[in-house]
Chain A
Amino acid sequence: GDSVTQTEGLVTLTEGLPVMLNCTYQTIYSNPFLFWYVHYLNESPRLLLKSSTDNKRTEHQGFHATLHKSSSSFHLQKSSAQLSDSALYYCALRTYGGSGNKLIFGTGTLLSVKP
């Protein structure tokens, strides 16, 4: 079935270093939609990025990701981490089926950026 696998657990970075959070997926659909959500403590999970067409980069708030169907990936990147980037990041795959459109989430990656 459809699934999402992302970098698990905690990623600790020093401010200014590049960010890369991995996300791969499995689906039978030829045109998948992938999303990155960011979840700050005591706030709503918020959409950060959504995928476009194959091999096209999408960007928002300094983060970027490119859907690569050849490798079933949608890795989240940022050139320079900021302290305010510390949060939980979830990769999600939109699936289709008898129960309608729904999102399947990865296990989440906690990004901790230190001075």
Chain B
Amino acid sequence: GALVYQYPRRTICKSGTSMRMECQAVGFQATSVAWYRQSPQKTFELIALSTVNSAIKYEQNFTQEKFPISHPNLSFSSMTVLNAYLEDRGLYLCGARDDSQNTLYFGAGTRLSVL
């Protein structure tokens, strides 16, 4: 079946440092990967949508300079949170899209804490 592995599950970083999270799709081709953030007491906010062989589209309030994303093939994507601060805390989810099933499969999330 289709699975999405996301790691690390949890990470703590010092304020001003950076951390990278990765997402691996298994069992299907992830033509597009969406990265979401769930801040405390909020719903899922889309950070960016990455489609293989296309430019990565960032939502308002999110930039490539802050959240650089790599999507080199149909099974892998990574995102880095640069210069993390308290407002970057939350659960980051990658969602990999299986076009053949019209379904977005999520990873388990990376919970980021910032000290």
Residues of A within 8 A of B (CB): 33, 35, 37, 42-47, 50, 90, 98-108
Contacts and interface: CB of A to CB of B under 8 A. Distances in A.
B43 A44 contact: no
Contact of B32 (A43, A90, A101, A104): A101
Nearest to B103: A47
Contacts of B108: 42-44
A101 B97 contact: yes
A90 B97 contact: no
A111 B58 CA distance: 32
Contacts of B57: 98-100
Contacts of A35: 104
Given A44-B4, A90-B43, A103 B104 contact: yes
Interface string B84-115: 00000000010101000011111111000000
25 contacts: A35-B104, A37-B106, A44-B4, A44-B93, A44-B105, A44-B107, A44-B108, A44-B109, A45-B106, A46-B106, A47-B104, A50-B103, A90-B43, A90-B44, A98-B57, A99-B59, A100-B54, A101-B97, A102-B49, A103-B95, A104-B46, A105-B43, A105-B44, A107-B42, A107-B43
B34 A108 contact: no
Interface string B53-81: 01001010000000000000000000000
B106 A102 contact: no
Contacts of A42: 108
A111 B102 CA distance: 26
A31 B75 CA distance: 29
Contact of B93 (A45, A50, A101): A45
- Find the residue from A33, A35, A46, A102 having the highest chain B CB count within 10 A: A102
